[in-house]
Protein backbone atom coordinates (compact mmCIF):
# COMPACT_ATOMS: atom_id res chain seq x y z
CA UNK A 1 0.00 0.00 0.00
CA UNK A 2 1.52 3.32 -1.06
CA UNK A 3 1.61 6.28 1.27
CA UNK A 4 -0.95 8.96 0.52
CA UNK A 5 -2.79 11.80 2.20
CA UNK A 6 -5.97 10.75 3.99
CA UNK A 7 -9.46 11.88 3.04
CA UNK A 8 -11.80 13.24 5.70
CA UNK A 9 -15.43 12.40 6.36
CA UNK A 10 -17.79 14.67 8.30
CA UNK A 11 -20.90 13.00 9.79
CA UNK A 12 -23.15 16.06 9.57
CA UNK A 13 -26.18 16.39 11.85
CA UNK A 14 -25.51 14.28 14.97
CA UNK A 15 -29.20 13.38 15.36
CA UNK A 16 -29.40 12.14 11.77
CA UNK A 17 -28.05 9.16 9.86
CA UNK A 18 -24.60 10.63 9.21
CA UNK A 19 -22.96 8.95 12.23
CA UNK A 20 -24.65 5.68 11.23
CA UNK A 21 -23.22 5.96 7.72
CA UNK A 22 -19.68 6.41 9.07
CA UNK A 23 -19.99 3.34 11.28
CA UNK A 24 -21.65 1.11 8.69
CA UNK A 25 -18.97 2.08 6.19
CA UNK A 26 -16.26 1.11 8.69
CA UNK A 27 -17.40 -2.51 8.70
CA UNK A 28 -15.47 -3.00 5.46
CA UNK A 29 -11.87 -2.27 4.53
CA UNK A 30 -11.51 1.00 2.60
CA UNK A 31 -9.60 1.64 -0.60
CA UNK A 32 -8.09 4.86 0.75
CA UNK A 33 -7.17 6.23 4.17
CA UNK A 34 -10.24 7.88 5.70
CA UNK A 35 -10.54 9.96 8.88
CA UNK A 36 -13.90 10.84 10.42
CA UNK A 37 -14.04 14.27 12.04
CA UNK A 38 -16.61 13.52 14.70
CA UNK A 39 -17.38 13.10 18.35
CA UNK A 40 -15.99 9.83 19.65
CA UNK A 41 -18.70 9.87 22.31
CA UNK A 42 -21.39 10.19 19.64
CA UNK A 43 -19.96 7.37 17.53
CA UNK A 44 -19.62 5.09 20.55
CA UNK A 45 -23.24 5.64 21.52
CA UNK A 46 -24.55 5.19 17.99
CA UNK A 47 -22.42 2.08 17.48
CA UNK A 48 -24.01 0.54 20.56
CA UNK A 49 -27.50 1.49 19.36
CA UNK A 50 -26.80 -0.19 16.01
CA UNK A 51 -25.35 -3.31 17.62
CA UNK A 52 -22.02 -2.77 15.88
CA UNK A 53 -18.54 -3.46 17.16
CA UNK A 54 -16.42 -0.78 15.50
CA UNK A 55 -13.00 0.07 16.91
CA UNK A 56 -12.61 3.85 17.02
CA UNK A 57 -8.96 4.78 16.59
CA UNK A 58 -8.26 8.36 17.66
CA UNK A 59 -5.88 10.33 15.45
CA UNK A 60 -4.52 13.85 15.77
CA UNK A 61 -3.11 16.68 13.62
CA UNK A 62 0.53 16.12 12.76
CA UNK A 63 0.25 12.36 13.04
CA UNK A 64 -2.25 11.37 10.37
CA UNK A 65 -2.43 7.68 9.48
CA UNK A 66 -0.63 6.62 6.32
CA UNK A 67 -2.68 3.54 5.48
CA UNK A 68 -6.39 2.61 5.53
CA UNK A 69 -7.86 1.36 8.79
CA UNK A 70 -8.54 -2.38 8.97
CA UNK A 71 -12.08 -3.63 8.43
CA UNK A 72 -14.15 -3.07 11.55
CA UNK A 73 -12.32 0.10 12.58
CA UNK A 74 -12.48 3.82 11.93
CA UNK A 75 -9.95 6.62 12.36
CA UNK A 76 -11.53 9.52 14.27
CA UNK A 77 -10.35 13.07 14.93
CA UNK A 78 -12.35 13.67 18.10
CA UNK A 79 -14.51 16.78 17.91
CA UNK A 80 -16.66 17.13 21.05
CA UNK A 81 -20.40 17.65 20.91
CA UNK A 82 -21.79 20.81 22.50
CA UNK A 83 -24.71 18.89 24.03
CA UNK A 84 -25.70 15.21 24.30
CA UNK A 85 -27.13 13.95 21.03
CA UNK A 86 -30.04 11.58 20.64
CA UNK A 87 -30.95 9.89 17.38
CA UNK A 88 -33.88 11.59 15.71
CA UNK A 89 -34.05 14.61 18.04
CA UNK A 90 -32.61 17.88 16.76
CA UNK A 91 -30.85 20.21 19.19
CA UNK A 92 -29.71 23.68 18.07
CA UNK A 93 -26.97 23.52 20.71
CA UNK A 94 -25.06 21.20 18.39
CA UNK A 95 -25.16 23.56 15.43
CA UNK A 96 -21.66 24.87 16.27
CA UNK A 97 -20.41 21.28 16.51
CA UNK A 98 -21.54 20.58 12.95
CA UNK A 99 -19.83 23.72 11.67
CA UNK A 100 -16.65 22.89 13.59
CA UNK A 101 -16.37 19.52 11.85
CA UNK A 102 -16.78 21.21 8.44
CA UNK A 103 -14.27 23.91 9.33
CA UNK A 104 -11.66 21.42 10.49
CA UNK A 105 -12.12 19.38 7.32
CA UNK A 106 -11.93 22.31 4.92
CA UNK A 107 -8.96 23.95 6.61
CA UNK A 108 -7.14 20.63 6.65
CA UNK A 109 -7.73 20.28 2.92
CA UNK A 110 -6.52 23.84 2.31
CA UNK A 111 -3.39 23.13 4.33
CA UNK A 112 -2.66 20.04 2.25
CA UNK A 113 -3.14 17.61 5.14
CA UNK A 114 -6.11 15.95 3.44
CA UNK A 115 -6.69 14.99 -0.19
CA UNK A 116 -10.40 15.82 -0.05
CA UNK A 117 -13.51 15.93 2.11
CA UNK A 118 -16.71 13.90 1.96
CA UNK A 119 -19.74 15.20 3.84
CA UNK A 120 -22.79 13.47 5.30
CA UNK A 121 -26.04 15.50 5.46
CA UNK A 122 -26.57 18.51 7.70
CA UNK A 123 -29.88 20.01 8.82
CA UNK A 124 -29.97 23.62 7.63
CA UNK A 125 -32.92 24.59 9.79
CA UNK A 126 -31.43 23.62 13.13
CA UNK A 127 -28.14 25.40 12.32
CA UNK A 128 -30.12 28.57 11.61
CA UNK A 129 -31.99 28.05 14.89
CA UNK A 130 -28.58 28.02 16.55
CA UNK A 131 -28.16 31.61 15.41
CA UNK A 132 -25.92 30.98 12.39
CA UNK A 133 -27.08 32.07 8.94
CA UNK A 134 -26.53 28.87 6.94
CA UNK A 135 -27.94 28.02 3.53
CA UNK A 136 -25.95 24.86 2.86
CA UNK A 137 -22.59 23.14 2.57
CA UNK A 138 -21.92 24.71 -0.83
CA UNK A 139 -22.24 28.30 0.33
CA UNK A 140 -20.49 27.69 3.67
CA UNK A 141 -17.44 26.12 2.04
CA UNK A 142 -17.28 28.86 -0.59
CA UNK A 143 -17.10 31.49 2.15
CA UNK A 144 -14.64 29.52 4.26
CA UNK A 145 -12.27 28.99 1.33
CA UNK A 146 -12.81 32.56 0.08
CA UNK A 147 -14.02 31.29 -3.27
CA UNK A 148 -16.13 33.95 -5.02
CA UNK A 149 -18.11 31.49 -7.14
CA UNK A 150 -18.73 27.78 -6.76
CA UNK A 151 -21.02 25.42 -8.60
CA UNK A 152 -23.24 22.71 -7.15
CA UNK A 153 -23.36 19.57 -9.27
CA UNK A 154 -25.09 16.24 -8.63
CA UNK A 155 -24.07 13.16 -10.55
CA UNK A 156 -25.21 9.60 -10.98
CA UNK A 157 -24.54 6.93 -13.58
CA UNK A 158 -25.11 8.50 -16.98
CA UNK A 159 -26.09 11.99 -15.82
CA UNK A 160 -24.45 15.08 -14.29
CA UNK A 161 -26.54 18.15 -13.44
CA UNK A 162 -24.97 21.47 -12.40
CA UNK A 163 -26.89 24.52 -11.18
CA UNK A 164 -26.63 28.22 -12.03
CA UNK A 165 -28.52 29.09 -8.81
CA UNK A 166 -28.82 26.89 -5.73
CA UNK A 167 -30.83 27.56 -2.59
CA UNK A 168 -32.91 30.58 -3.57
CA UNK A 169 -36.64 31.23 -3.24
CA UNK A 170 -38.21 30.72 -6.66
CA UNK A 171 -39.32 34.35 -6.95
CA UNK A 172 -35.66 35.45 -6.75
CA UNK A 173 -34.29 33.07 -9.39
CA UNK A 174 -34.93 35.13 -12.54
CA UNK A 175 -33.16 38.18 -11.10
CA UNK A 176 -30.19 35.99 -10.17
CA UNK A 177 -29.73 34.74 -13.75
CA UNK A 178 -27.32 37.41 -14.97
CA UNK A 179 -24.88 37.18 -17.86
CA UNK A 180 -21.97 37.48 -15.43
CA UNK A 181 -23.20 34.68 -13.18
CA UNK A 182 -24.06 32.38 -16.07
CA UNK A 183 -20.64 32.91 -17.62
CA UNK A 184 -18.78 32.23 -14.36
CA UNK A 185 -20.76 29.08 -13.62
CA UNK A 186 -20.35 27.72 -17.15
CA UNK A 187 -16.59 28.35 -17.10
CA UNK A 188 -16.22 26.58 -13.74
CA UNK A 189 -18.28 23.61 -14.89
CA UNK A 190 -16.27 23.29 -18.09
CA UNK A 191 -12.91 23.66 -16.32
CA UNK A 192 -13.62 21.06 -13.63
CA UNK A 193 -15.01 18.56 -16.12
CA UNK A 194 -11.66 18.87 -17.87
CA UNK A 195 -9.33 19.11 -14.88
CA UNK A 196 -11.01 16.88 -12.28
CA UNK A 197 -13.00 14.43 -14.39
CA UNK A 198 -10.56 14.05 -17.27
CA UNK A 199 -12.99 14.95 -20.08
CA UNK A 200 -10.93 16.57 -22.81
CA UNK A 201 -13.77 18.43 -24.56
CA UNK A 202 -16.94 18.31 -22.49
CA UNK A 203 -20.31 18.87 -24.15
CA UNK A 204 -22.72 20.76 -21.89
CA UNK A 205 -26.47 21.01 -22.48
CA UNK A 206 -27.97 24.24 -21.10
CA UNK A 207 -31.58 24.55 -19.94
CA UNK A 208 -33.67 27.60 -20.66
CA UNK A 209 -35.15 29.40 -17.68
CA UNK A 210 -38.73 29.65 -18.90
CA UNK A 211 -41.18 27.03 -20.19
CA UNK A 212 -40.28 26.04 -23.77
CA UNK A 213 -37.07 28.07 -23.33
CA UNK A 214 -39.12 31.27 -23.56
CA UNK A 215 -41.10 30.36 -26.71
CA UNK A 216 -39.26 32.95 -28.77
CA UNK A 217 -39.85 35.65 -26.17
CA UNK A 218 -43.56 34.99 -25.65
CA UNK A 219 -42.97 33.22 -22.31
CA UNK A 220 -40.10 35.36 -21.05
CA UNK A 221 -37.10 37.13 -22.52
CA UNK A 222 -34.27 35.84 -20.33
CA UNK A 223 -33.22 33.38 -23.02
CA UNK A 224 -33.05 36.09 -25.71
CA UNK A 225 -31.48 38.82 -23.62
CA UNK A 226 -29.17 36.87 -21.27
CA UNK A 227 -28.72 33.18 -21.91
CA UNK A 228 -28.31 32.99 -25.70
CA UNK A 229 -25.80 35.89 -25.97
CA UNK A 230 -23.72 34.50 -23.09
CA UNK A 231 -23.56 31.02 -24.59
CA UNK A 232 -22.65 32.49 -27.98
CA UNK A 233 -19.66 34.35 -26.49
CA UNK A 234 -18.43 31.20 -24.78
CA UNK A 235 -18.87 29.11 -27.93
CA UNK A 236 -16.65 31.61 -29.73
CA UNK A 237 -13.95 30.66 -27.22
CA UNK A 238 -14.33 26.99 -28.05
CA UNK A 239 -16.69 25.70 -25.35
CA UNK A 240 -19.10 23.02 -26.59
CA UNK A 241 -22.46 24.32 -25.39
CA UNK A 242 -25.90 23.30 -26.62
CA UNK A 243 -28.95 25.41 -25.82
CA UNK A 244 -30.79 26.98 -24.27
CA UNK A 245 -33.10 23.98 -24.56
CA UNK A 246 -36.57 23.47 -23.05
CA UNK A 247 -36.02 21.64 -19.77
CA UNK A 248 -39.07 19.42 -20.25
CA UNK A 249 -37.54 17.77 -23.33
CA UNK A 250 -33.82 18.16 -22.61
CA UNK A 251 -33.84 15.27 -20.12
CA UNK A 252 -34.58 12.65 -22.76
CA UNK A 253 -32.26 9.96 -24.14
CA UNK A 254 -31.71 11.55 -27.55
CA UNK A 255 -30.27 14.68 -25.91
CA UNK A 256 -28.47 13.08 -22.96
CA UNK A 257 -26.77 10.35 -24.98
CA UNK A 258 -24.08 12.67 -26.29
CA UNK A 259 -23.52 15.09 -23.40
CA UNK A 260 -21.21 15.21 -20.39
CA UNK A 261 -23.29 17.49 -18.16
CA UNK A 262 -26.52 19.46 -18.03
CA UNK A 263 -26.57 23.02 -16.72
CA UNK A 264 -29.91 23.84 -15.09
CA UNK A 265 -30.97 27.35 -14.15
CA UNK A 266 -32.35 26.52 -10.70
CA UNK A 267 -32.47 23.80 -8.06
CA UNK A 268 -35.82 22.17 -8.79
CA UNK A 269 -35.41 22.36 -12.55
CA UNK A 270 -32.63 19.80 -12.74
CA UNK A 271 -32.34 17.91 -9.48
CA UNK A 272 -35.73 16.12 -9.45
CA UNK A 273 -34.73 14.36 -12.67
CA UNK A 274 -31.28 13.49 -11.33
CA UNK A 275 -32.68 12.13 -8.08
CA UNK A 276 -35.38 10.15 -9.83
CA UNK A 277 -32.72 8.52 -11.98
CA UNK A 278 -30.14 7.84 -9.30
CA UNK A 279 -31.42 8.44 -5.77
CA UNK A 280 -29.32 6.43 -3.36
CA UNK A 281 -26.53 6.11 -5.92
CA UNK A 282 -25.76 9.76 -6.61
CA UNK A 283 -23.20 12.24 -5.37
CA UNK A 284 -23.21 15.98 -4.69
CA UNK A 285 -20.03 17.71 -5.88
CA UNK A 286 -18.93 21.30 -5.23
CA UNK A 287 -17.06 22.57 -8.29
CA UNK A 288 -14.76 25.58 -8.33
CA UNK A 289 -13.34 25.11 -4.84
CA UNK A 290 -9.58 24.94 -4.30
CA UNK A 291 -10.27 21.60 -2.55
CA UNK A 292 -12.10 18.39 -3.40
CA UNK A 293 -15.53 18.12 -1.78
CA UNK A 294 -18.26 15.56 -2.39
CA UNK A 295 -21.38 14.65 -0.45
CA UNK A 296 -24.26 12.22 -0.29
CA UNK A 297 -27.38 13.10 -2.29
CA UNK A 298 -29.89 12.70 0.56
CA UNK A 299 -30.95 14.36 3.80
CA UNK A 300 -30.57 13.60 7.48
CA UNK A 301 -33.42 11.02 7.61
CA UNK A 302 -34.05 11.65 11.29
CA UNK A 303 -36.69 8.93 11.42
CA UNK A 304 -34.12 6.31 10.42
CA UNK A 305 -31.24 7.41 12.65
CA UNK A 306 -30.13 4.61 14.96
CA UNK A 307 -32.31 2.04 13.20
CA UNK A 308 -29.75 0.44 10.91
CA UNK A 309 -32.29 0.54 8.06
CA UNK A 310 -30.23 2.76 5.79
CA UNK A 311 -28.28 2.36 2.57
CA UNK A 312 -24.66 3.43 2.30
CA UNK A 313 -24.79 3.48 -1.51
CA UNK A 314 -24.67 7.25 -1.93
CA UNK A 315 -21.80 7.60 0.55
CA UNK A 316 -19.79 5.00 -1.34
CA UNK A 317 -20.36 6.88 -4.61
CA UNK A 318 -19.32 10.11 -2.87
CA UNK A 319 -16.10 8.46 -1.72
CA UNK A 320 -15.33 7.01 -5.14
CA UNK A 321 -15.96 10.38 -6.81
CA UNK A 322 -13.70 12.20 -4.33
CA UNK A 323 -10.92 9.70 -5.03
CA UNK A 324 -11.36 10.19 -8.78
CA UNK A 325 -11.34 13.98 -8.50
CA UNK A 326 -8.28 14.03 -6.25
CA UNK A 327 -6.40 11.82 -8.70
CA UNK A 328 -7.26 14.14 -11.56
CA UNK A 329 -6.47 17.46 -9.88
Binding-site residue numbers for a divalent metal cation are 167, 212, 267
Q: Taking Cα atoms as reference points, which of 142, 106, 128, 152 lies closest to residue 8?
A: 106
Cα separations (Å) of 40 from 11, 49, 134, 179? 11, 14, 25, 47
For residue 244, cis peptide bond before it (omega within 30 degrees of 0): yes
Say if CB 260 and CB 160 are below 8 A apart: yes
Query: β-strand 159-163 against 203-207: which pairing, if any?
Result: unpaired
**Pairwise CA distance, residues 71 & 88, whole Å:** 28
| Known binding-site positions | 137-138, 167, 212, 267, 275, 284, 293
Partners of residue 38 on adjacent β-strands: 78
**Pairwise CA distance, residues 37 & 99, whole Å:** 11
| Strands, sheet with 240-245, edge to edge from the N-terminal-most edge strand | 55-58, 73-78, 34-38, 7-10, 117-119, 293-296, 283-287, 151-156, 159-163, 261-264, 203-207, 240-245
**Pairwise CA distance, residues 279 & 272, whole Å:** 10
The half-sphere exposure of 252 on its side-chain side, counting CA atoms within 13 A, is 7
H helical segments located in 58-178 = 95-110, 124-129, 137-144, 170-176
Q: Taking Cα atoms as reference points, which of 155, 273, 142 lies closest to residue 207?
A: 273
| Known binding-site positions for substrate | 137-138, 275, 284, 293
In sequence order, which residues have a C-beta less than 8 Å from that of residue 192 and are 6 or more positions away?
Answer: 151, 287, 288
In sequence order, which residues have a C-beta less than 8 Å from that of residue 19 and are 6 or more positions away?
Answer: 11, 38, 42, 43, 46, 120, 305
Amino acid sequence: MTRSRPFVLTPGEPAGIGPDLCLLLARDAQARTLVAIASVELLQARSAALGLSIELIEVHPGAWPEHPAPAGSLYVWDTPLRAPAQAGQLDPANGPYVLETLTRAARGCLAGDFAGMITAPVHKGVINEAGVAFSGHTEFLAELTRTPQVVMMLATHGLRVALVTTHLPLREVADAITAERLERVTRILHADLVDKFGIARPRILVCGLNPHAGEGGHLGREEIEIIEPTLARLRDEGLDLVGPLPADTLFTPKHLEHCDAVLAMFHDQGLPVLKYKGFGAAVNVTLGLPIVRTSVDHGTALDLAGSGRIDTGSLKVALETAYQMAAGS
